[in-house]
Structures are given as structure tokens and as C-alpha cells.
Structure 1
Amino acid sequence: MDNKKVVVVGGGAAGMIAAATAGGRGMDVTIVEKNNRLGKKILITGKGRCNITNSADMETHIGNVVHNREFLYSAFYTYDNYTVIQLFESLGLETKTERGGRVFPQSDKAVDVVNALKKHVKNNNVDILYESPVNSVIVKNGQIHGVKLENGNEITCESVIIATGGKSYPGTGSTGDGYHIAKEAGHKIITPKPALTPLNIKENWVKELQGLSLKNTELRLYKGDKKVFEDFGEMLFTHYGISGPLVLSASGHVVGIEKGGYRVVLDLKPALDEKTLDLRIQKDFEKYSRKNFSNSLDDLLPKKMIPVIIELSGIPSDKPVNQISKAERAKLVELLKNLSITPTSLRGFDEAIVTAGGVDVKEIDPSTMESKLVKGLYFAGEVMDLDAYTGGFNLQIAYSTGYLAGSSC
């Protein structure tokens, strides 16, 4: 068996899978990690529970990838979600599937996921070098010859797998190191930007709704007159704007927000069409016929939202409901079905779940994850220009590309 020397730069999900896979093939593998522990970012995913993957079929996984989904066909079908679940269970980590196909550890503890991956790494005889940031790769005649650490030391090897992650949650060590290494080796970098991140909103009234969570809302994102995203689910109002799963997914479709032209339209009652909603409002007005407008919306809206909707409707709050005109009611229906707000910017990398942008996948072989420019240089995970919606899809990208890189190096 070939005892080739392989260095994996980065000990996150992609790096650990890549290293264990290469080690299982008999390679002499070392993970070079800048932190003092492996899997630091995994610990904060899924609010500390770690959404390991998604139980949906792989076509659904591909459909949930925002950028460069075609690139992932080979990786996803070579190493799919069921293989991932089987791997974790073989390592002693029991899993459970929740709403939307999200797969979590039975224990609800992300640290158990990290420990299972560390066990996988150890089982495959991988060495680990902690607190060792990599400065660059050593390339001679278009071929990898090793890596150079920031402390000046060099490690000679025949293959390098860059699995340094993106720029999201920089406190975990994801500070874009891989981009500099790849660029120096001749690779093009698609400008990284925060993805799966909350949105800052222009309208001041949004602040009044801080902490309000909406469970069944339809969100549409427009750029000019063109609808670029639409989905249904949960969202949250914050002191700066909006967040929650719906908003995070929409954020991946925002490009050049600083130039303006974007608007978010919320349907607060997606289960009812305009006519049905109007009838529902009439019924409530009948029920509260002796009350003012401000006291007639308790059955229709969350308490926090009532003053905001009253103000935006233009209907005086002290107007008796039995005096509200058909035209005023129509305006209220329109407002509830099309509540428009203006996003001004994305929140930063500190709050982004993943990074959009990274190493241009056109310069990477999708069947091996090897660089088309430098022989023996491979990539895995978020360092590449790949990102997906929430729900376990981004971690599946890490495992699948990590496995291919570890299988091919």
C-alpha cells in the first residue's frame, strides 16, 4: 500500500473526514490545525446541537445548494447522507431526525459529533499538529512538495488538502487563511461574502418588534421588480432587522445590496387568500363591534405587532370597528398580505453561518477535488465557492468533498 505523505490544513468537519479517509487508505497523514483543538466551529453549529446532515435524497441536497450545485454531483453521490449517518452510528453516535429532515445527535450535544469525528481520525492513524497556522504551500514545477508554517518550519509531503473553512465565525479560527494559500498557488478567489446571515432593515418600526418570532410566514425577496427568492417558514425580528431560517436562506440571494433596489415582502397570513382574509377580518370586527380598532386585532395578530400594523394601516386606532369602511379594510388586507420592508445590508461574518465565495470551483476537478493548476493540491469544504441553505446541507458538502479529497490524494 502506498505510504504517501499527506498534509490536511484545517481540522474541521471537511478536514477530519478527508484525513481519516486518506489514513484509511494507508497514507501517512497529518492534520495541521491553527487552534488548540479540532472541530471548534462544529461546537457552535445548530445552536450547540449540530445539525449533522439532512435525511432528504441527494437531489434535494443539490437543490438546496445556492452556488455551483452542478460541481457537487460527483461528491454527493459518492459519499451521501446515509453513509454519513452510518459512519456516525458506527462511531457510537446515535442520531435522530427532526422537522425538515434535519439530523441531530440523539444527545443534542455538538461536542459528541466532534468526539466521534476525532475517534474516526484516531482510528485511521492520523497525526495532529495543533497551534500550527500554515503560511503557504510549497510548489515546484507545478507539483506540491510540502507546506510552510507561519513559524518558518516546513513539512514535506506529496499531497496537501486545504480544508480551512471560510470567513464566517472568525472567532473559531475561520479567518480566510485558505484563500491566501490558494491565491498564492495561482488560484482565483471569488470575493467572499457572508451567507446565511441576518439582514439590517431600514424601517424604524422593525425595532419595536424585537424578539417577535413568526412561525408561519411567507417571505419574498425582490430585486427591482424581479422576485429572486420565495419561501415559507420561521423568521425573527431583531433590534437591527430580521433573522431566522427564512431570512438566512434569502440572504444567499442578495448580491450588491449596498447599491439598493432590494425589498422584502412578508405575507403574514399565507394560508388565507385576500377574499378569505377579508371575511376573517369582518368576522373579528363583528365579534368586537363595540370596540375601537386598536382592540379588535387580538385574534388576528401577535400582541407586539398590533400597534405597528395599526400605524401602517392609516386607520385611526380609536376608530370604532363598526365605522371602518370597506376601502380601509381592503388596505388592511393588502398590508397583512404584502408587508414591505427594505434591507440595507447583510450582517457581517461574525453572524454568518457560512461564507459565499472562495476558491473558484472551475479550477478544481469535481470528481477528485484536485486543483487543475497544481498537482497534489486538493480542496475540501467551505474554502471553495460552495454554500447551501440551512438544514444540514452545508455540513454534507464538507463531508462529501472531504471524502473525495481523501480518497483521491
Structure 2
Amino acid sequence: KALGHTIVPIRPALVPLEIEGGIHPALAGLELRNIEAQLFIDGKKKRQLFGELHFKKFGVSGPTILTLSGDAVDGLRAGKHVELLIDLKAALNRQKLDARLIRDFEKRYKEPFADVLRGLLPAKMVPLCLEQTNIPPNKLAGEISKKERKSLLNWLKGLRLEVKSYRSFKEAIVTAGGVNLKEVNPRTMESKIVSGLYLVGELLDLNGDTGGYNLQAAFSTGWLAGNSAGKEE
């Protein structure tokens, strides 16, 4: 900055997210696969991803959340409302999932609702489901009304989590922000403002999704800068 470069504000990226009110105690440590996470900023869907989600005491993490976190952090910093919508049964559309619920309730009609749920969800998620759907745990599956079944269907396809904040730089995999890319020659990584100054990796306003992209960016920009500087000599 002292040399005249524009610095885009530094912020954590690929970082776990904190959920309003924390996570239900039973969920801490639970890891889910094959879910779909949708990110909403001020009620508008920003992005969605299919993959894994990890529950922590403070909120959520895992590959899908880390990748969505960049947009979530920017939304929170702008004072916007940020929310996650988790589809716990992403492999089934609403019609197929509803048909499965009907079959399960008919087949196990003499069993308590809570027991039937354990065939649909990890045991740790059952208390939260009972709490948020308001269906009595001891109600027999055969007595579940259409309205209650729809309530369960909506919950399975759209678990809502309000994002209140994000974790610190210590828990972030990379940082976002840095030297404005418009001020760097992409063919050499040399500063357009200061001759002989080369900028690479996380010094730049450059960050990608989880999956090795940020390491590749660091390696590639470092190689390009070194090679270019060597040619100058």
C-alpha cells in the first residue's frame, strides 16, 4: 500500500460459519454426505453445492460450507441477511421423497414416529427434527396426518440455518483480498506501479474454491514471477 498499490480489504476465506443460536447440542461432530447446501443473501439464492457438511458446536463447516463461505462473508460484511438452506435428501426430489415417507409410514404404522425417523436420519438429527416439526415422538406412524407429513417433507428438503458470523483467520484455509489484480501484469506477475516488484499467491486479491485451486494459484503465480524475474536479469 505504501508503494501505491490498492489493497482490497483482507478477510477470511474457506472458513467455517457460525449459526445464530449455535447448533443443537446433539449435532456437534456429525458429518453428513450427499446433501445440497444453498446460500441465500437477503433472500436471493446466491449459489448451491452438493457434497459434505460438518456440524460444529458453533455452526457448520465441511467442503460445501467452506466453498460457500466466501460469498457468505462478503454478505455479512455488507450487513446483509445470510441464510443456508440444507437439503438433507438431495438425491430424491420432493415427489419421490414424499412417496417414500408414505411407504414408510404405511409399513411401520404401529411404530412411534421417532423410531421411523431413525430410518430416515442419523440418530443425532432426530431430536432437532422432532423439535422443529412439532410432531409428537410417540405418535404412531399410521396416525401421522398429511399436514404433518408435509411438515416433515419441508424440513428434510429445507433445513434453515441463519448465519450470524464467520470464524477467525486462524481457522480460515486462505485469505481473500490483497493487491488489486488490475495493478499486476498477469503475464509476468510484475507490479504495473513499481518496476521489479513481483506479487504472488495470497498477496493478491485472488482466492478459489476448496479442492487445491488456491495451492495451484500460489504455485503458478510463484513460478511465473520467478521465471519472469530471472529473464529480467
TM-score interval w.r.t. the shorter chain?
over 0.9
What does the per-residue CA deviation read over 1:278-321, in whole Å, with 9 as the maximum and x for residues that have no partner?
A: 11112221232111111111211001001111111111112111
Give the total of aligned pairs.
227
Match of 1:197 in 2: 15
2:65 to 243, 247, 265: 247
Cα distance in structure 2, aligned partners of 1:256 and 1:224: 8
Amino acid at match of 2:2: E
Cα distance in structure 1, aligned partners of 2:23 and 2:206: 35
Distance 1:330 1:223, change over 3 A: same
| 1:222 counterpart = 2:40 | yes
Whether the 8 Å contact between 1:206 and 1:238 is mirrored in structure 2 is: no
Whether the 8 Å contact between 2:23 and 2:58 is mirrored in structure 1 is: no
What does the per-residue CA deviation read over 1:84-121, in whole Å, with 9 as the maximum and x for residues that have no partner?
A: xxxxxxxxxxxxxxxxxxxxxxxxxxxxxxxxxxxxxx
| 1:274 counterpart = 2:126 | no
What does the per-residue CA deviation read over 1:168-196, in whole Å, with 9 as the maximum and x for residues that have no partner?
A: xxxxxxxxxxxxxxx12111111100000
1:213 to 19, 27, 31: 31
Overall identity of the aligned pairs, in %: 47
Instruction: Point out where structure 2 has 5 or more consecutive residues left out of the alignment.
Output: none
Cα distance in structure 2, aligned partners of 1:223 and 1:253: 9
What does the per-residue CA deviation read over 1:14-42, in whole Å, with 9 as the maximum and x for residues that have no partner?
A: xxxxxxxxxxxxxxxxxxxxxxxxxxxxx
Distance 1:292 1:328, change over 3 A: same
| 1:391 counterpart = 2:188 | no
Match of 1:376 in 2: 196
Whether the 8 Å contact between 2:39 and 2:83 is mirrored in structure 1 is: yes
Cα distance in structure 2, aligned partners of 1:245 and 1:253: 14
Instruction: Point out where structure 1 has 5 or more consecutive residues left out of the alignment.
Output: 1-182
Match of 2:76 in 1: 257
Whether the 8 Å contact between 1:207 and 1:240 is mirrored in structure 2 is: no
- Counterpart secondary structure, 2:171: coil
Amino acid at match of 1:404: L
CA displacement at 1:270 relative to structure 2: 0.7
Whether the 8 Å contact between 1:199 and 1:242 is mirrored in structure 2 is: yes
After superposition, residues 62-211 of structure 1 pair within 5 angstroms as 183-211=1-29
| 1:296 counterpart = 2:116 | yes
CA displacement at 1:403 relative to structure 2: 1.2
Cα distance in structure 1, aligned partners of 2:100 and 2:66: 31
Whether the 8 Å contact between 1:380 and 1:398 is mirrored in structure 2 is: yes
Moved over 6 A (4+): none
Whether the 8 Å contact between 1:368 and 1:405 is mirrored in structure 2 is: yes
Cα distance in structure 1, aligned partners of 2:158 and 2:21: 15
CA RMSD of aligned residues (A): 1.2
Match of 1:120 in 2: none
CA displacement at 1:204 relative to structure 2: 4.1
Cα distance in structure 1, aligned partners of 2:125 and 2:51: 18
1:320 to 134, 137, 140: 140
Cα distance in structure 1, aligned partners of 2:207 and 2:42: 24
Amino acid at match of 2:58: Y
Whether the 8 Å contact between 1:219 and 1:266 is mirrored in structure 2 is: yes
Match of 1:357 in 2: 177
Cα distance in structure 1, aligned partners of 2:102 and 2:11: 47
Amino acid at match of 2:33: K
Whether the 8 Å contact between 1:284 and 1:297 is mirrored in structure 2 is: no
